[in-house]
Structure 1
Amino acid sequence: MKIFNDPVHGHIELHPLLVKITDTPQFQRLRHIKQLGGTYLVYPGASHNRFEHSIGVAYLAGCLVKVLHDNQPELKITKQDFLCVQIAGLCHDLGHGPLSHVFDGLFIPEAIKEKQLKGLSDDKIQEKKEWKHEQMSVKMFNKIVESLKAKNEDVLKEHELYDKDVTFITELIKGAEKSDVKWPYKGRDEDKSFLYEIVANKQNNIDVDRWDYFTRDCHHLGIRNSFDHQRLLKFARVCKVNGRNHICFRDKEADNVYDMFRTRYTLHRQAYQHKICNIIEDMFTKALIKADRDLHKDKPEDMFTLSEAIHNAEEYTKLTDEIFGQILSSDSDKLKESQDILKKIINRELPKFVGEARLMEENKSKMSPEQRSTKTQMQEKLTETWKKAVKKYKPTDSAVSLKADDFSVYVVDLGHGTKGKKPFDNIYFYSKWNNKEASCIEKYQLSSFLPETFTEELVRVYCDKPNENRVEEADKCFKEWRESNFGL
């Protein structure tokens, strides 16, 4: 075993096979990818990377499997199961691009729009639309397996891991979708369905990935974390619910589980969706879009562009946050626009925040079903009404004129988990007197202080060409717009 001194989990041990995986180029690149993307430019402490987070997830995955194994020997968890779940935790984020979610959540969708304008074939567009970083994580993991075999190091077989186990690991990385039909996975039989809920739990969003990043991000951001993952870990147990084995928790841990979802909301509200973080990440995205064709002077036509690198694991391995330094130091004229954007970020020449307001249900009810169907649709509708409000507004300072095109409107989603669902959907609890059966928590068992709704949308307006007087007038215009129900 190799010992790692982790800032949030203390001294942790890693199996030699996991250490072999960490010593590969695919994993080492995670040292150069910020966990929180542009948040680092607002919170100076948020300098941690995907590398340490991945090690933390592997560790917690091992802790959870050990608790289940020790408390319930009848589950017949093998040492191969234990290793596979840990490897999946270690490799689940291999597919993240520069600045983490900036790449897959912002850049790739924008690149799709750009390619559509240029007439890219429909199959290529569809392929990009369906792309998630988990898919690249699987490709990168398969690349690691190939590279270890190429070195005549069949370390997987040394630990009795075979093709079925590799399939199991890739299924764990992708995460199992909620399904009531016949068991669709090949890595393990249905009696071990609970193992699919440890690393990427798409059933109810309780998994060790979240446990680690909640703890780690709060530590580095300086934000209080009321959720106790170590306590919840001790009360984890497998019960059969609706004919399938699920990880369940003691009923008295319901408040602790709610604290987990509340911590998620707090992190998004104060850090991930911070008003300045959002605009910085938007600027980073624009810089990547401008650099999508040329990263090097006299670049060959057949070289992969940034957005095309998602189709090739070798090219993708070269993509880290260092790309921004490459852009800034390049002498290619074609990168000048991208360089200008990055220099504005460095010099803090950012759009100025004008105002923010919550979009209430009565506001959304005035939109058509199509207009409120997605965040993008709502954003387009609100941009339209904001522009009308700006044209209608008469500044109190006659020397100031407001132009609608000088502003940007954003809609930000905030919530406790999956949009449109309550946090306790699909979470099962057992009682002190019966730890063999579990069910969803009853409403009377929950605190009456819990909110009725668990998601909200914020409307934000920024001035792209700011000066003090213009922003002051824009603030007055924003208040009038808000009081008029956003002109809806």
Structure 2
Amino acid sequence: MTRHAEIIRDPLWDNIRLEPDAVAALDTPTVQRLRHVRQLGHAFLVYPGATHSRFEHALGAYHLTRRALTVLGDRGDLRGVPPEDCVAVRLAALLHDIGHYPFSHALEEAGFPSHEALGARRLGEGELAGVLRQVGGDALIERIAELIQGRSDSPLAGLISGSLDLDKIDYLSRDARMCGVPYGTVDVDRLLASIALVEQDDGRRAVGVHEKGVSALESLLFAKYQMYRNVYWHHAVRSATCMFKRAVRAAVGTGRLDAEFVATATDGSLMTELLAHDPTGIGRAVHERRLYKRALDMPASEVPDDLPTWLSDDPDAVERAEDALAAELGLEPGAVLVDFP
């Protein structure tokens, strides 16, 4: 590989150093697409600064993973870990979101396949596959796929998927910064300095923290709670997300939009097609920020225990329930929406 390492300036982490293999992966169309997929979906309708992209987040996750590997290496924790695992983890951090749909997680909630599964598939396609095979062959592609799908048995897997994954540290910090809220504060330096590979009861090693890092870990967990409560699950964000899901499902269900196009689109290209092929008018309402208002807000703890089934895992059942409620109120289908954040 003839490329050289590069330094990229980032508003959150300052200088991010990219190794030559990461530079090569970054310059493929699969990864460049992430420049045009917003990290927080429709949150910009509430927090105007929340227009940062999955691309920026991928760089941040890569940077933090690289820092963590340096800490583990300096401490001697990487003894016995295959060098190929370190390469795979570093690149998995960069590539973990390549399967993401436009507008964050909304379409997975609407019943589309998981972005992890799509990402694993895209690792073996196009220019990106050629880059990865040049670095480490098909074995590297498989290692990265296992990491981003949460099924790797590497001791380092927890850096990519788990309660302490570095993806989480970046998105909480970055999202808080871009939304202009004080909720995502994490003691990142302390947390990274305390990361270790600890032995579990079964004798295998996994990512953990030294005792001195427990308070920093607690700050991470509390930041996640605060960001979900105040940003990710803000009622207007959820309203826009719910409306968007209904509009896309209707367009795909009537053949006006192709599901494969939806999976590979950017925010802009999907919205353009949706506005041109929206049988409900809901997509345009989202685009113009004419959002549905809350009629009822019920905590899960108050839902009756004798319900025959829980709808949230079945988008078709949710849609039938919505239309039944609308009919009872004398409204058109799609005029009442039910959301399970």
**TM-score, normalized by length of structure 2?**
0.84
Q: What's 2:87 paired with?
A: 83
Q: Is the 8 A contact 1:99 1:321 kept in 2?
A: no
AA matched with 1:255: S
Counterpart-to-counterpart distance in 2, 1:307 and 1:21: 26
Q: Does 1:136 align with 2:118?
A: yes
Shift of 1:307: 2.3
Q: What's 1:283 paired with?
A: 243
Structure 2 counterpart SS, 1:223 = coil
Q: What's 2:286 paired with?
A: 345
Shift of 1:74: 5.9
AA matched with 2:144: I
Counterpart-to-counterpart distance in 2, 1:321 and 1:358: 34
Q: What's 2:270 paired with?
A: 323
From the superposition, tell whether residues 368 and 207 of structure 1 become closer, same or farther in structure 2 (CA, over 3 Å).
Answer: same
1:24-56 C-alpha deviation (Å, 9 max, x unpaired): 111111111111111111110100011111111
Shift of 1:213: 0.4
More strand, by proportion: 1
Q: Is the 8 A contact 2:173 2:185 kept in 1?
A: no
Question: Cα RMSD between the aligned structures?
Answer: 3.0
From the superposition, tell whether residues 83 and 367 of structure 1 become closer, same or farther in structure 2 (CA, over 3 Å).
Answer: same
Q: Does 1:356 align with 2:297?
A: yes
1:112-154 C-alpha deviation (Å, 9 max, x unpaired): xxxxxxxxxxxxxxxx6xx3111111111111466536xxx96
Shift of 1:78: 5.4
Shift of 1:10: 0.8
Q: Does 1:103 align with 2:112?
A: no
Q: What's 1:219 paired with?
A: 177
Counterpart-to-counterpart distance in 1, 2:128 and 2:239: 40
AA matched with 2:306: S
1:7 is aligned, of 7, 11, 18, to: 11
More helix, by proportion: 2
Counterpart-to-counterpart distance in 1, 2:129 and 2:261: 19
Larger Rg: 1
From the superposition, tell whether residues 21 and 146 of structure 1 become closer, same or farther in structure 2 (CA, over 3 Å).
Answer: closer
Structure 2 counterpart SS, 1:337 = coil
Unaligned runs of at least 5 residues, structure 1: 110-127, 177-184, 296-304, 311-315, 392-402, 414-488
Q: What's 2:161 paired with?
A: 200
Q: What's 2:67 paired with?
A: 63
AA matched with 1:103: L
1:172-219 C-alpha deviation (Å, 9 max, x unpaired): 11113xxxxxxxx6xxxx6xx321111122xxx210111110111011
Counterpart-to-counterpart distance in 2, 1:245 and 1:154: 28
Counterpart-to-counterpart distance in 1, 2:78 and 2:249: 53
**TM-score, normalized by length of structure 1?**
0.60
Structure 2 counterpart SS, 1:142 = coil
1:442-479 C-alpha deviation (Å, 9 max, x unpaired): xxxxxxxxxxxxxxxxxxxxxxxxxxxxxxxxxxxxxx
Q: What's 1:264 paired with?
A: 224
Paired positions, count: 325
1:390-416 C-alpha deviation (Å, 9 max, x unpaired): x9xxxxxxxxxxx47587464545xxx
From the superposition, tell whether residues 29 and 218 of structure 1 become closer, same or farther in structure 2 (CA, over 3 Å).
Answer: same
Q: What's 1:442 paired with?
A: none
Counterpart-to-counterpart distance in 2, 1:337 and 1:261: 41
Shift of 1:4: 0.7
Q: What's 2:195 paired with?
A: 236
